[in-house]
Amino acid sequence: MSETATRLRGKDLLGIADLEAAEINLILDTAEAMKEVASRPIKKVPTLRGKTVINLFFEPSTRTRTSFEIAEKRLSADTLNIAIAMSSVVKGETLIDTAQNLEAIAPAIMVVRHGSSGACHLLARTCRAGIVNAGDGTHEHPTQGLLDAFTIRERKGRIQGLKIAIVGDLLHSRVFRSNILLLTKLGAEVWACGPPTLMPPGLERLGVHPTTRVEEAVEGADAVMMLRIQLERMQGGFFPSLREYFNVFGMTPERVRLAKPDAIVMHPGPMNRGVEIASEVADGPASVILDQVTNGVAVRMAVLYLLAGGGENEAAA
Amino acid sequence: MKRLLKGARVVDPASGVDGIRDVLIDGDRIALVGTSIPAAAAAGAVIVELGPSLVVCPGFVDMHVHLREPGYEHKETVATGTAAAVAGGFTAVACMPNTNPVNDNASVTRFILKQASAANLARVYPIGAVSHGSNGEYLAEIADMREAGCVAFSDDGRPVATALLMRRALEYAGMFGMPVIDHCEDRSLAGEGVAHEGFHAAQLGLRGIPSAAEDVMVDRDIVLALATGGHAHIAHLSTAGAVRSVREGKARGARVTCEVTPHHFVLADESLREPLVYDTNLKMNPPLRGGSDRDALITGIRDGSIDVIATDHAPHHADDKRVEFDRASFGIVGLETAVSLGLDRLVHAGIIGLGRFVELLSVNPARILGVPGGRIAAGDTADITILAPDLAVTVSAAAFRSRARNTPFDGWTLRGGVAATLVGGRPVFANPGVPQTSGFERS
């Protein structure tokens, strides 16, 4: 199961759905080397020198954009951040036009976050640059899935055979979609828990165990992953109140005790304390939430390095 | 002038005819149909040798198209839409009222008919709005629009908004024996959905439109049809539940009829992922449903629960489709692919025979709309569709007569196509790929 590829097949990273297990292992292994760079006094390698990476964000993001930007800078890429707060969209420029204007600058890679599922696929079909999906609608957020897997592997030494519980708004979560695809490809036993109004159909078909009982999901788990609950979901009538949500699904110390004694607790951020996760858990000994942030940089360095042609002629760092 | 169509297989279920016949056309009428036309009757006629490989049928009627004029002429016009119609084998189309302005009054109806008359290709039967502006509040002037030429009423693009309005519409249109055509979709259930709620949309992160959104409104309309005695026609049926409801509704005595589109009986939601993921030419409303829904539609076509094949021809400019999936316009064109898809997937697949195919495309839509057609017996208007059932057809969107190219079937190879189309005895389309049609000089 630890089969490893030597390169990625595509020019883009659009989703975990397109990756084989061997490619996932390649990214995770490469990320280990990249993480070592961060421990050096000079946290920079010349790998992407002379290459331009554009961070094209159509949705607000602090964490993911910053993580990509630091990853790009540590690889010595020239980076350009473009936050389109729907301004050009309001003026009427289409996504394809925006991207083609940026293509004229000849970037090697465009890192794209967009509110529409499939937006990155549309760009990948029309752009020469490699497209890295930094979150498209409610579809996928592949680098988040990869950094979550990296964090689990770092703590547990493996992913195969682990019981992993994912709890929260499964229906609208791109983090969830990337994670279930990735974790099942690497052989984990994935349990998915949330209110039935926020559960997408067909989870069993993917080999995921759905449940509405959080205790069942968490019991004996090696890792518990919480997903963010957005306030507007309550207004959309998916559940009655944040208070009730916390009572039924919130990750409390009592519920964490149902998991394995050495279980880890994860959250992709930003957290709603007291909604999906109790502060005692978020700040407790099982929490690896800040490790996830640190690992995000290494994983994104690995993805950018591999997509920009690394691995074909030189070793990382 | 006279024309004698010789030696083709005539499939005319309304007259009980299926066999090799000659058809004599005199002016805009059918003069005679028979195994041997007396020489005296055919004197002076232009003879068109069709032969037994071609099929002569009563003209096909597409009771659900969007011609986009007035208001959206960059998508389609009455002239380009009717050119697409005749190239697709349709001698008549009924056009939905969601133009700009909405066809909710007789002056818009008359404008559409004037454009149709100028185009002089397929017959055009306007469908008037049920409510003012199709806003779902007050009945539009149904009697006035009927007088001007409307044949049915619908707020298509939207459902008839409330049960009360549907009740009133069924009662009021029922006074003239006219159908109310409903786009059945409970908007609160459909929400902002863009694809069939199910495994594939969930995988793609696309907001779902559940089958229940259609099913509950089909049930509502059947209950109201029973209560009022009015005629409810369910547009573009897409779910297994809706087929079951219509079947049961008919058994209970409701005046309910329904149509299905070629894309719903050919495709299913799995196509959203392969071969081209997030293809906006697979975005339509109702959405492509699950495989079991598609199978239920085919069963309904076979067992008679489904009355009509209609295209829901929905032309859009390329700009409306070259965008993110959730921002793309709903709908695809259908006029120039429907006959080939039906022949290939229904007739050659052994689901139905040609007689039933002609019922679905000609006899039943003409009857439901109360318009002439659906039969080619002596004295009938000579609206004729001639099929080449074994012609190898490769769909080419670039060659469409329609102004729009939004089809998921571009490049498909299908068995069966249109040889020629005659409206009022006049050839308005002849397929250059079918040699026998060289006998039709365009007039």
pLDDT tens track for B46-80? 999 999 999 999 999 999 999 999 999 999 999 99
State whether the Cα torsion A243-A247-A250-A256 is positive or negative. positive
Q: How many angstroms away from the CA of B392 is the closest CA of chain A? A: 31
Cβ contacts of A227 within 8 Å, gap of 6 or more: A166, A167, A168, A169, A170, A173, A175, A176, A194, A267, A268, A276
Chain B positions touching A121 (Cβ under 8 A) are 277-278
A40-81: per-residue pLDDT in tens?
A: 999 999 999 999 999 999 998 889 999 999 999 999 999 999
Q: How many angstroms away from the CA of A93 is the closest CA of chain B? A: 11
The beta strands (E) that lie in A201-309 are given as 209-211, 223-226, 264-266
Cβ contacts of B174 within 8 Å, gap of 6 or more: B228, B229, B230, B231
Name the residue of chain A whose CA is nearest to B206's CA.
A117
Give the active site residue among A4, A11, A63, A294: A63
Q: How far is CA A232 from CA A171, A236, B170, B326, in A?
A: 13, 6, 39, 19
Does residue B418 contact residue B436 with C-beta atoms inside 8 Å? no
pLDDT at A232: 73
The answer to whether A119 contacts chain B (CB < 8 Å) is: yes
Name the residue of chain A whose CA is nearest to B276's CA.
A121
Name the residue of chain B whose CA is nearest to A140's CA.
B205
Chain A positions touching B322 (Cβ under 8 A) are 94, 96
Q: B 207-236 residues with CB below 8 A of A?
A: 207
- B60 burial (CB, 10 Å; 0-12 / 13-18 / 19+) is buried
Chain B positions touching A205 (Cβ under 8 A) are 199
Is A201–B327 a contact, with Cβ atoms under 8 angstroms apart? no
Does residue B179 contact residue B231 with C-beta atoms inside 8 Å? yes
Q: Is A130 helix (H, G, I), strand (E, B) or coil?
A: strand
Name the residue of chain B whose CA is nearest to A94's CA.
B323
CA atoms of B282 and B264, how far apart (whole Å): 11
Structure-token pair, residue B282: 């697979």
Name the residue of chain A whose CA is nearest to B327's CA.
A116
Q: Is the pLDDT of residue A316 over 80?
A: no
Q: How far is CA B25 from CA A215, A254, A289, B47, in A?
A: 79, 87, 82, 10
Name the residue of chain A whose CA is nearest to B199's CA.
A202
CA atoms of A61 and A161, how far apart (whole Å): 34
Comparing CA positions, the residue from A128, A136, A142 lying closest to residue A52 is A128
Q: Can A121 be counted among the known catalytic residues?
A: no
Q: Can A267 be counted among the known catalytic residues?
A: no
If you count them, how many residues does chain B have?
A: 443
Q: How many angstroms away from the CA of B319 is the closest CA of chain A? A: 9
pLDDT at A314: 44
**Three-state SS string across chain B, please?**
CEEEEEEEEEEEHHHCEEEEEEEEEECCEEEEEECCCCCCCCCCCEEEECCCCCEEEECEEEEEECCCCCCCCCCCCHHHHHHHHHHCCEEEEEECCCCCCCCCCHHHHHHHHHHHHHHCCCEEEEEECCEHHHCCCCECCHHHHHHHCCCEEECCCCCCCCHHHHHHHHHHHHCCCCCEEECCCCHHHHCCCCEECCHHHHHHCCCEECHHHHHHHHHHHHHHHHHHCCCEEECCCCCHHHHHHHHHHHHCCCCEEEEECHHHHHCCHHHHCCCCCCCHHHCCCCCCCCHHHHHHHHHHHHHCCCCEECCCECCCCHHHCCCCHHHCCCCCCCCCCHHHHHHHHHHCCCCCCHHHHHHHHHHHHHHHHCCCCCCCCCCCECCEEEEEEEEEEECCHHHCCCCCCCCCCCCCEEEEEEEEEEECCEEEEECCCCHHHHHCCCC
Cβ contacts of B184 within 8 Å, gap of 6 or more: B159, B214, B217, B218, B220, B221, B234, B235, B237, B242
Q: How many angstroms away from the CA of B208 is the closest CA of chain A? A: 10
Torsions phi, psi for B23 (to 5 deg): -125, 120
Q: How confident is the model at residue A91 (pLDDT cuts 50, 70, 90)?
A: low
Of B197, B277, B323, the CB nearest to A121: B277
Q: How many angstroms away from the CA of B322 is the closest CA of chain A? A: 8
Q: Once rounded to an integer, what is the mean pLDDT over residues A206-213?
A: 97
pLDDT at A315: 42
Chain A positions touching B326 (Cβ under 8 A) are 116-117, 137
Cβ contacts of B42 within 8 Å, gap of 6 or more: B2, B4, B24
pLDDT at A90: 58
Rg of chain B on CA atoms, in Å:
21
Size of interface A-B (CB pairs under 8 A): 57
The answer to whether B330 contacts chain A (CB < 8 Å) is: no
Does residue B169 contact residue B158 with C-beta atoms inside 8 Å? no
Of B197, B278, B324, the CB nearest to A95: B324
Q: How many angstroms away from the CA of B280 is the closest CA of chain A? A: 10
Ordered DSSP codes for A149-190: HHHHHHHHS--TT-EEEEES--TT-HHHHHHHHHHHHTT-EE
Q: A 145-174 residues with CB below 8 A of B?
A: 171, 174
- Backbone angle region of B193, left / alpha / beta, with phi > 0 → left and psi within -120 to 50 → alpha: beta
The answer to whether B192 contacts chain A (CB < 8 Å) is: no
CA atoms of A147 and B241, how far apart (whole Å): 44
Q: How confident is the model at residue A5 (pLDDT cuts 50, 70, 90)?
A: confident
The answer to whether the predicted template modeling score (pTM) of the entire model surpasses 0.90 is: yes
Q: Is A50 helix (H, G, I), strand (E, B) or coil?
A: coil
Does residue B59 contact residue B49 with C-beta atoms inside 8 Å? no
Rg of chain A on CA atoms, in Å:
19
Structure-token pair, residue A248: 């039924």
Give the active site residue among A47, A64, A79, A184: A64
Residue of B199, B204, B209 to mutate, interface with A, max A Cβ within 10 Å: B204
**In this structure, what DSSP letter does residue A70 have?**
H
Torsions phi, psi for A103 (to 5 deg): -60, -30
Chain B positions touching A200 (Cβ under 8 A) are 202
The parts of chain B modelled with pLDDT lower than 70 are: 441-443
Q: Can A139 be counted among the known catalytic residues?
A: no
Catalytic site residues of B?
A: 312
Strand partners, A191: A165, A209
Is B198–A202 a contact, with Cβ atoms under 8 angstroms apart? yes
Q: How far is CA B78 from CA A80, B97, B132, B151, B337, in A?
A: 49, 13, 22, 17, 18
pLDDT at A310: 64
Q: How many angstroms away from the CA of B273 is the closest CA of chain A? A: 11
How far does Cα B80 stand from its chain's mean position? 16
Q: B 340-399 residues with CB below 8 A of A?
A: none
The answer to whether B277 contacts chain A (CB < 8 Å) is: yes
User: A93 vs B260, which has greater pLDDT?
Assistant: B260
A246-279: per-residue pLDDT in tens?
A: 999 999 999 999 999 999 999 999 999 999 999 9
Residue of B188, B192, B324 to mutate, interface with A, max A Cβ within 10 Å: B324
Of B197, B277, B323, the CB nearest to A201: B197
The answer to whether A94 contacts chain B (CB < 8 Å) is: yes
Q: How confident is the model at residue A233 (pLDDT cuts 50, 70, 90)?
A: confident
pLDDT at A89: 54
